[in-house]
Amino acid sequence: MLKPISITAIAAISPLGNSLDEAWENYKNNAHFISEKQFSTQRVLISELSNEVQAEIEILRQSESKYKALDNSVLYAIYTSRKAVKQANWNSEDQFGINIGSSRGATQLFETYHEAYLKNKTSHPLSSPTTTLGNISSWVAHDLNSKGPEISHSITCSTALHAMLNGIAWINAGMSDKFLVGGSEAPLTGFTIAQMQALKIYAKHTTDYPCRALDFSKNENEMVLGEAAASVCLEQGETKNALAVIKSFGYATELLEHNASLSTNAICFQRSMTMALGDMDPASIDVIVTHTPGTIKGDISEHNAIKTVFKNKIPSLTNNKWKIGHSLGASGLTSIEMAILMLKHQEFIGVPFCNEPKPKKLQNILINAVGFGGNAVSILISK
């Protein structure tokens, strides 16, 4: 890390709500936002946005004729970006870049267009431009009337934290003083869920806690898909209005043992966390917000990596996927939001079925994310 970088705004929509205050209130109880929904011939566990948030997205869709053809993943990003930029007091005259990515992209539109193609053997004129990953940052830039670079990417479930890495890199390189970064995911479609079920990692049973992410004793995979988006404003230096400061970061990729798995001891996480720690005493990390998606091997491998790096000084561990499901490419920033809330309120958000000890203080929080392909990112933020 060459220069201190401040997080001056964060706006997110998830099953927790659409504001930091609403998210905090929903974190303070042990209820989850996972429910059943009918997809074709089966009922499936999912975690979706509230009716109120969906209504606001629909108002956005109808606000401009060109927006009616956009996928929810794009509209979610526009919505959160507007709120983040307003919160940070940026305007169209500010020179800021945009990097907002997605793991799946325009899943709903793609499936709709492909179904029509199979039926009619012709494609809709907008089927290509509205389903590309570059579609997200381009439309956000259009909506904000921004003048800086716009970047989109997919690095599977670590997409949002890779966007944050890119923003850090541009600022550290002196190429930009400000960067808007984010992730957006609208994965609640029949084909997307079927893909996760085919991997045999999807939760099957409606229980008190259908997704037992961070439970290392579970005997079956219990991942649940959720929808979410988040946008974060990054600024050079330690600003007076900072919600948190990015203290360091780490990243790594490991060789694949399987298309959808990590190594037993998550070598990529060992490397990313070690890089983020640098010369710091491991005992100075108070909390780790884990990636742990609710799969047996995924959860245990990350825990093995944490034990390897921190040895007998393991920080308190927590996670939000038991509550709001796994939002794939957006999940890293919902974890950042969770960390910022803990720092702001100086209160640990635990997992009800885990017996994690509460930290003695809340100063340094490490956030992990990894995706198919073994692309791990660890971001360390401080109060």
| Whether 200 and 229 share a structural domain | yes
Decide if pLDDT at 1 tops 80: no
Estimate the share of the chain in helix, then strand, then coil, as percent rounded to the nearest 5: 35, 20, 40
| Whether 126 and 61 share a structural domain | yes
Residue 80 lies in a domain: yes
| Whether 284 and 373 share a structural domain | yes
Residue 242 lies in a domain: no
Check residue 152 and give its pLDDT. 94
Check residue 326 and give its pLDDT. 98
| Whether 319 and 217 share a structural domain | no
Query: Structure pTM?
Result: 0.96
List the CATH number of the domain containing 280.
3.40.47.10
Residue 38 lies in a domain: yes
| Whether 171 and 272 share a structural domain | no
| Whether 374 and 352 share a structural domain | yes
Average per-residue pLDDT for the chain = 95
Instruction: Indicate the residue among 236, 266, 297 that finishes a domain.
Output: 236
| Whether 232 and 320 share a structural domain | no
Name the domain count of the chain. Answer: 2
| Whether 220 and 255 share a structural domain | no
Could you list the residue range(s) of the whole structural domain that residue 357 is in?
247-382
| Whether 43 and 192 share a structural domain | yes
Confidence of residue 3 (pLDDT cuts 50, 70, 90): confident
| Whether 254 and 314 share a structural domain | yes
H or E element in which residue 205 lies = none
| Whether 110 and 218 share a structural domain | yes
Q: 263-317: per-residue pLDDT in tens?
A: 889 999 999 999 999 999 999 999 999 999 999 999 999 999 999 999 989 999 9
Residue 208 lies in a domain: yes
Check residue 91 and give its pLDDT. 86
Instruction: Indicate the residue among 183, 212, 236 that finishes a domain.
Output: 236
Q: How far is CA 67 from CA 55, 111, 113, in A?
A: 15, 18, 17
Is the CB of residue 230 less than 8 Å from the CB of residue 327? no
Retrieve residue 260's tokens: 């959808």
Q: How far is CA 11 from CA 1, 77, 261, 349, in A?
A: 24, 10, 31, 19
Instruction: Indicate the residue among 211, 236, 261 that finishes a domain.
Output: 236
Q: 56-80: per-residue pLDDT in tens?
A: 999 999 999 999 999 999 999 999 9
Residue 96 lies in a domain: yes
| Whether 175 and 204 share a structural domain | yes
Is the CB of residue 153 less than 8 Å from the CB of residue 324? no
Percentage, residues of the chain above pLDDT 70: 98
Confidence of residue 134 (pLDDT cuts 50, 70, 90): confident
Check residue 190 and give its pLDDT. 94
Enumerate residues 6+ apart whose C-beta is below 8 A from 233. 7, 8, 9, 10, 84, 85, 87, 88, 90, 96, 178, 179, 180
Of 55, 99, 48, nearest in space to 77 by CA: 99
Least confident of 20-29, 85-94, 162-171: 85-94
Decide if pLDDT at 379 tops 80: yes
Residue 297 lies in a domain: yes
Residue 142 lies in a domain: yes
Residue 241 lies in a domain: no
Confidence of residue 181 (pLDDT cuts 50, 70, 90): very high
